[in-house]
Homo-oligomer: A and B are copies of this chain.
Amino acid sequence: MIIRVHELPVRKRYPLRISRGTSAGSDNLLVEVEHDGVVGLGEMAPYSGGAVAQTPELARESLAAWAPRLEGLAPWEMQAVEAALDEVGGGVAARAALDLALYDWVGKRLGAPVYRMLGCDPARIVPTTVTIGILPPEVVRERVPEILARTGARALKVKLGSPDGLEADRAMYSAVREVAPPEIPVRVDANGGWTVDGARSMMAWLAERAVEFVEQPLAKGAEADLPAVARGRPIPIYVDESCSVARDVPQLAGVVDGVNLKLMKAGGIREGLRLIHVARAHGLKVMIGCMGETSLSIAGGVALSALADELDLDSHLNLLPDPFEGLRMVDGRLLPSEAPGLGVRRAQPGEEEANR
């Protein structure tokens, strides 16, 4: 197979502020895998907060290092590809982009959407949340109704863990619940911005205010303190930054209630499936989330989404414009395309304009 890498810069409609900082956009990469006249597409979205910052530079270096090892392989030879990548080493987000391109290629070659190749049942796809970044209450009151109306989403994820402290978190959450219709479920994500005491206090407070659950209360690396937060918890706890690959799951079982799978952390669909299977064997719930991805990578998450209990696949809805199209939002549920592979294509210029 031949691998080509292209720039895929994306700009956010609304900058996203979380506990660790603010993002107004990112230099994503588009990865093309060509073999036997068929081209598969994948995407890398940069992020920090893991063990190694997944920068576009690291991704380009990784893909360049892998390319000569992959020349003699066909895209369906995924086990051999994984073995080559393990030997060479490299960035996990680049690995995800390559994995997505391989699945897209195989689906296009076989004439089947990836979700079908995985045997997934779209009827089981639950509504996705859209994310409200850390904002002052007065902005929340305008932003929440606009986002719900524009995206068609029917569930919210609220970023807490504000550097301004728990008072700011409480003010923001109250503003969200004030303007969100009561039938809209709301969950919160602290992105590791709380202490043990802060987490216990916020979880007790949130439990009385119609929250579904909390995500990543403590920072990555503070997993030893999770039992202190989890003991007698009034609401379920999911972890995100604390869980990237299947091997991270066993030590979290019995401590938390669920894990947030992101393809950019796991390294793609193949490891994503493994993570889901391990979580299930331990009785853990599974959420599928995303980084700052276009519809292309999001389509990879959607291909798996029937296997998840909770979905937070919304980053493409906050892009100006989303350079890909093909996914559909129906009654708040993000559904896969019936086109082969990941089922997305470059957005037409006119449609991009219309999305602005």
Contact = CB atoms under 8 A, between A and B. Distances in A.
Interface in A86-126: 110-112, 116-117, 119-121, 123-124
Contacts of A112: 76, 110
A78 interface: yes
Nearest to A110: B110
Contacts of A76: 112, 116-117, 119
Interface in A260-306: 270, 273-274, 277-278, 280-282, 306
A306 B306 CA distance: 27
Given A117-B117, A247-B281, A250-B282, 20 more contacts: A76-B116, A76-B117, A76-B119, A77-B119, A77-B121, A78-B119, A79-B119, A79-B124, A79-B307, A83-B121, A83-B124, A110-B112, A246-B281, A247-B280, A249-B281, A250-B281, A273-B273, A274-B277, A277-B277, A277-B278
Contacts of A281: 246-247, 249-250, 274, 278
Contacts of A117: 76, 117
Interface in A45-96: 76-80, 83
Interface residues of A, number: 31
B282 A277 contact: no
Closest 10 CB pairs of A and B: A78-B119, A274-B277, A79-B121, A277-B277, A80-B121, A278-B281, A110-B110, A246-B281, A76-B116, A247-B281
A148 interface: no
Nearest to A82: B119
A102 to B, nearest CB: 8
A111 B117 CA distance: 13
A79 B246 contact: no
A79 B278 contact: no
Contact of A280 (B111, B116, B120, B274): B274
